[in-house]
Amino acid sequence: MYIIYIHQESENSQKIMPDQFDRKKRSEIMSQVHSANTTPEKYVCGILEDFGFSFFTQSDDLPGKPDILLPDFNMVIFVHGCFWHSCPLCKRAKIRPKENAAYWNRKLDRTLERDRENKIKLEELGYKVLIIWECETKTKKIDLLKNKIIDFLHKA
Ligand SMILES: [Zn+2]
């Protein structure tokens, strides 16, 4: 089992205690998490909230400014856009623009390089790093994504 933490730090200051939810409330929450209008970051935050983890979404002083910081565990999560960060999982990200190809290749390669450097720097600082790809936040992949997050949090 993973550790349940009471969510205290959210700007919404909504305290989440998962074991207090009845079925109806839980499915309400899950339908919010499923909402098609949420950004990938918010989607991942919704899953963490549902699990009852406390986290910050401001970590500007860390290398690469991770999207989510779990301060209790020294863990960070990046939610990467597939195109900009050259996602290895989906085809869409492998198609680079043909116009100004040299410019785009340089730009995208540089981002890849920087992502690698930031991951190393964070690990040197003692952080565990999880990368979540935008394409993993599609509604139909929610179970896979939840398992990926749970596996990561098990490393805490
Ligand atoms: Zn992708």
Residue 137 CA, ligand 1 centroid: distance in Å:
9
Residue 95 CA, ligand 1 centroid: distance in Å:
11
HSE-up of 134 (CA within 13 Å, CB side)? 15
Question: What's the 3-state SS for 90-148?
Answer: CCHHHCCCCCCHHHHHHHHHHHHHHHHHHHHHHHHCCCEEEEEEHHHHCHHHHHHHHHH
Strands across the sheet containing 128-133: 68-70, 75-80, 128-133
- Structural domains in the chain, sorted by start: 18-151 (3.40.960.10)
Residue 64 CA, ligand 1 centroid: distance in Å:
19
Residue 80 CA, ligand 1 centroid: distance in Å:
8
Min mean pLDDT across 29-38, 43-52, 119-128 is at 29-38
Is the pLDDT score of 102 beyond 90? Answer: yes
Residue 132 CA, ligand 1 centroid: distance in Å:
9
- Rounded to whole angstroms, how far apart are CA atoms 156 and 152? 8
Residue 73 CA, ligand 1 centroid: distance in Å:
27
pLDDT of 96 reads 87
Is the pLDDT score of 16 beyond 50? Answer: no
Which tens digits make up the pLDDT trace of 35-74? 444 688 988 999 999 888 889 997 889 999 999 999 989 9
- Rounded to whole angstroms, how far apart are CA atoms 78 and 136? 12
Residue 11: helix, strand or coil by DSSP? coil
Is the pLDDT score of 154 beyond 60? Answer: yes
Measuring CA to CA, which residue among 80, 82, 58 is closest to residue 71? 58
Residue 143 CA, ligand 1 centroid: distance in Å:
16
| Pairing assessment for the beta strands 75-80 and 68-70 based on DSSP bridges | antiparallel
Residue 81 CA, ligand 1 centroid: distance in Å:
7
Residue 85 CA, ligand 1 centroid: distance in Å:
9
